[in-house]
Amino acid sequence: MSAQGVETNPILKKFDLSGKVALVTGASRGIGSGLATALAGAGADVALVARGEDALAATAARIRELGRRALVVPTDVSKVDSLPGMVDQIVQEYGHLDILVNAAGVQRRKPILEVTEEDWDFVNSVNLKGLYFVSQAAARQMLKQGKGKIVNICSLTTSMGIANVSIYSATKGAVLSLTRTQSKEWARQGITVNAIGPGYFNTEMTQRLYNDPAMNQWIVDRTPMGRWGEIDDLLGAVVFLSSDASDFITGVLLNVDGGWLSA
């Protein structure tokens, strides 16, 4: 359908993010980069957050090729004191903040008996503490505006146990609980908070599993759709949950897993 058709179709218009400003954490690679590009493709201008400025350059270039603005904001989300200033910088640049996608995440794969306190602190500082306080800073701005969309990224480990990723699992289970609590606290102020639960996707974080022939085949065989997820498989979910089409949906986990959890 033509762009004019989207503009005049009241249903498709609800998915249009033109005029919106999105903040995406973990936007330098993998799922975060893909989701940031998807939001731009739906019409949003995007603020890109990760620790390294150079690492964000490729994502920013893709967004600008789509004709949207991209603001690179190098930030370590585990440094809580820097987060209000990060949001202030985005609002100063764009005038408002409408969408937050919390995609920043780190992993330490090892058996529980080998986990150290440093492992625990490292994973929690990004996956849970960082997400918590980025959401807090963004919500303060959204509450002033009377509307906002927050999308948190969970995982299969939110809903099931997987060996050797105990800290990651603990954080992703907590993210769903936090999603539900945020949705209750902010629903009447116009902010919806939902989560996406990706299945096995071929990203830098899962590269070792993808490159292991036995593990790769096990994942393919265990997934009803018979393949790994690709970043494109997540794009509809994030646009939907960031758009007016999901205005009466909050506190929900949307699994994008090729049927894994149904099997």
Distance in angstroms (rounded) separating the CA atoms of residues 62 and 95? 23
> Which DSSP category does 240 fall into?
H
Instruction: Tell me the mean pLDDT in the region 6-18.
Output: 86
Tell me: the pLDDT tens digits for 151-167? 999 999 999 999 999 99
Which of residues 128 and 204 earns the better pLDDT score?
128
7 burial (CB, 10 Å; 0-12 / 13-18 / 19+) is: exposed
Domain map (residue ranges) of the chain: 3-202+231-256
- Grade residue 76 by pLDDT with cuts at 50, 70 and 90: very high
What pLDDT sits at residue 6?
Answer: 62
**What was the pLDDT predicted at 151?**
98
Calpha distance 258→201 (Å, rounded): 10
- Over 70: is that where the pLDDT of 5 sits? no
Reply yes or no on whether 200 is catalytic.
no
Which residues have CB under 8 Å from 189's CB, separation 6+?
142, 143, 146
94, 168, 200, 210: the catalytic one is 168
pLDDT tens for 180-228 read 999 999 999 999 999 999 999 988 778 888 898 999 999 999 999 999 9
Residue 1's pLDDT band, with cuts at 50, 70 and 90, is: very low
Number of C-beta neighbours around residue 217 at 10 A: 10
Give the tens place of pLDDT for each residue, 224-256: 999 999 999 999 999 999 999 999 999 999 999
Which of 11-15, 46-50, 202-206 shows the highest mean pLDDT?
Answer: 46-50
Q: Would you state the CATH architecture of domain 3-202+231-256?
A: 3-Layer(aba) Sandwich (3.40)
Instruction: Determine if the pTM surpasses 0.85.
Output: yes
pLDDT over 70 (residue 31): yes
Percent of the chain with pLDDT over 90: 89
**C-beta of residue 37 within 8 angstroms of C-beta of residue 115:** no
Question: Mean pLDDT over residues 109-131, rounded?
Answer: 98
Helix (H) or strand (E) holding 164: none
